[in-house]
Amino acid sequence: QVQLVESGGGLVQAGGSLRLSCAASGRTFGSYIKGWFRQAPGKEREFVAAISWSGGSTYYADSVKGRFTISRDNAKNTVYLTMISLNSEDTAVYYCAAGSIPRTSSSYYYTSQYTYWGQGTQVTVSS
């Protein structure tokens, strides 16, 4: 079992920045891929970013490329999402997720690849 706890969400003005953290406990952190997803009111949960178990490969949704950066520190059992140039469309609950290493890189983008989920942290961007 892996337990995930997100933190760092909050209210920020458009153009501002935030850094989300996801602390993991339980089974070996380093052997899992990590992802960030988000869900806005009335919308489906969507992929934001993911990172391989080693941190050598990262994946981003087109809507956040160039603005968000995912990183991980396996020694601290933590994955981060650094967000800059935030806009109102980034308002959502952000979820951290962990999953087994996929067979293909395309699998990083799908919720089905992830077994463990955090409880979510709210990010609200005011215009």
Rounded Cα–Cα distance for residues 30 and 74 (Å): 6
The 3-state DSSP class for residue 6 equals strand
Residue 27 has pLDDT above 90, yes or no: no
Chain-centroid distance of CA 20 in Å reads 8
Give residue 1's pLDDT band: very low, low, confident or very high (50, 70, 90): confident
User: Vertex 116, ends 113 and 121: CA angle to 5°?
Assistant: 110
Rounded Cα–Cα distance for residues 37 and 49 (Å): 7
Q: For position 101, what pLDDT does the model report?
A: 87
User: What digits encode the pLDDT tens for the residues 61-94?
Assistant: 999 999 999 999 988 999 999 999 999 999 999 9
* Average pLDDT score over the chain: 94
